[in-house]
Structure 1
Amino acid sequence: MRIAVIPGLILAMIAACSSDVAKTSDSPQSAAEAFLALVDQGNYQESWSEASSWLRDNVDASQWAEHAGSYRQPLGIVKNRKLDSIEFQGSLEDMPDGKYAFVIFDSSLADTSSASEMVGLMLDEDSMWRVIGYQTL
């Protein structure tokens, strides 16, 4: 009986560790891409729900939907999007101390020849990179 329990405990511990690794290894690029997938589909409410705790505390969902939509909707359907750069910063003016990343994509969109999209992220309380802002450049 004791022998059967030990392998079960070991498997449970491995699964728990694997899930923690997945949570903390989330990259700014993958978080930005997941956010952009929501915005591309017009899911602004869901993009707000998945955003950083700082953004949710400081911008209500309707303001966020208006802001994100005003930048994204006029550009039309995405034809192509590729990573241009990722810049990391340790602090930002008027923001809490923490880790920040700015992910810039070169995008080809239906209603414009090209655009640069910037997604700002912070490493949130849950150790996940989450959005603090979005704009087209």
Structure 2
Amino acid sequence: MRVLAKLLLIVCCVCGAFCTQVYAQTKPQQMDIEPAYAWLELIDRGRYFQSWQYASDHFKQNIDASQWNDVLVGAKASLGDLVSRELSGYGVRDTVAGLPKGNYMVFQFKSEFTHKTLNELLIMTRENNELKTVAYLIQ
């Protein structure tokens, strides 16, 4: 479990460098927000393997399905159930620390769980003509 905690910490540190910046302003109708909510709903419902399946190839290369499951089981235990989630920031970036240059949609949510209120950061990219998750961070 310590290895998984370290892996999650590394991902947070890599992506943390750009998280403090305000995202490029993009009108909500210009962004496809529904896939972000749909992917997060898989996690909310405990469908961790499905969330891994619907992630990008880059995501899958960095964490296997069983590790992803273990990370989320641990996170769910400390957070509790989702109470509310509100989109608090969004934008499009062509560079993200730790990722190759590309076209990334970045979504930040203020989320309340039964045990904690925090920010969730979801980074997605278009792969095979679908938006796929590249990174998911809890801050």
- 1:120 Cα deviation from its structure 2 partner: 1.5
The answer on whether the counterparts of 1:119 and 1:131 sit within 8 Å (CA) in structure 2 is yes
From the superposition, tell whether residues 65 and 108 of structure 1 become closer, same or farther in structure 2 (CA, over 3 Å). Answer: same
Cα 1:79–1:135 change in 2 (3 A) is same
Scaled by the length of structure 1, the TM-score of the pair is 0.70
Tell which structure's C-alpha radius of gyration is larger. 1
Residue type of the alignment partner of 1:120: I
Which amino acid in structure 2 is aligned with residue 128 of structure 1? E
> In the TM superposition, what are the counterparts of 1:35-114 in structure 2 within 5 Å?
35-112=39-116, 114=117
Structure 2 residue aligned with 1:16: none
Structure 2 residue ranges without an equivalent (≥5)? 1-30
**Could you tell me the percent identity over the aligned residues?**
26
Q: Partner residue of 1:115?
A: 118
Q: Distance in 1 between matches of 2:90 and 2:69?
A: 25
Distance 1:94 1:79, change over 3 A: closer
Query: Considering only aligned residues, what root-mean-square deviation do their CA atoms show, in Å?
Result: 2.2
Deviations 1:64-88 (A, max 9, x none): 2223333344211111111101132
Equivalents in 2 of 1:105, 1:92: separation in Å? 18
- Structure 2 distance, partners of 1:75, 1:43, is 16
* C-alpha distance in structure 2 between counterparts of 1:86 and 1:103, whole Å: 4
List runs of 5+ in structure 1 lacking aligned partners: 1-26
CA distance in structure 2 between the partners assigned to 1:108 and 1:94 by the alignment: 28
Q: Which amino acid aligns with 2:74?
A: S
What secondary structure sits across from 1:91 in the alignment? Answer: coil
Q: Are 1:76 and 1:109, in contact at CA under 8 Å, matched by a contact in 2?
A: yes
